[in-house]
Chains A and B, each alone.
Chain A
Amino acid sequence: GAVVSQHPSRVICKSGTSVKIECRSLDFQATTMFWYRQFPKKSLMLMATSNEGSKATYEQGVEKDKFLINHASLTLSTLTVTSAHPEDSSFYICSARFTTGRTEAFFGQGTRLTVV
């Protein structure tokens, strides 16, 4: 149990277009989902914390108008990179925590975004 599915696993888009990444908790309900960005050989940078039914909380330095996060249900959160540029190319990972009880986070497999 506790599977988090992230889609797509890889995406290539043209500069100036928008890309949507989905994060689904397949077999549990997740009140909270997290979005991370990982640079090569670097740790995971928390971008935002997403709570179902409310606005996401963005970390300092993360542009909320560029990285749109929607958490419309207990099993789905989306990250939309708007007007993508080559510097947005990165590995994006989502994670989800159970609504109650368990506190560990379960991670999706990540999305490799390449903006050309």
Chain B
Amino acid sequence: AQSVTQPDIHITVSEGASLELRCNYSYGATPYLFWYVQSPGQGLQLLLKYFSGDTLVQGIKGFEAEFKRSQSSFNLRKPSVHWSDAAEYFCAVGARNQFYFGTGTSLTVIP
């Protein structure tokens, strides 16, 4: 069965520091992979997606993610975090008629 794991429930970083959010998936074939961000009380916004090709994908707001097939990972990174990046981040796996999310990582940014 497919699953998505985000090992870090909560991460705190200083503004300007680099960020990496981890995501591991389990799926029989190569899945479509996504990162979404959710601000409090809001819906989800797509940050970036991976379908195929270049394993390093660029997204909005300065985010990027790298697909590593050997590690079944799709970690999200940002070189310099801004206070406005504080939010909940969800990794997702989509394939065929299914779309499943990890448990999310809550990001706190301190001045």
Binding site for B on A (CB under 8 A): 4, 6, 32, 34, 36, 41-44, 46, 49, 51, 57, 91, 93, 95, 97, 103-110, 112
Contacts and interface: CB of A to CB of B under 8 A. Distances in A.
B103 A49 contact: no
Contacts of B100: 46
Contacts of B43: 4, 6, 93, 107-110
Secondary structure at the B interface, as helix, strand, loop or mixed, is strand
9 contacts: A42-B104, A43-B101, A43-B102, A104-B46, A105-B34, A105-B92, A106-B46, A110-B41, A112-B41
A34 B41 contact: no
Given A32-B97, A51-B97, A107 B32 contact: no
Contact of B99 (A34, A108, A110): A34
A59 to B, nearest CB: 10
Given A36-B101, A104-B32, 17 more contacts: A4-B43, A32-B97, A42-B103, A43-B102, A43-B103, A44-B101, A93-B44, A95-B44, A97-B94, A105-B34, A105-B99, A107-B36, A107-B44, A107-B45, A108-B43, A110-B42, A110-B43
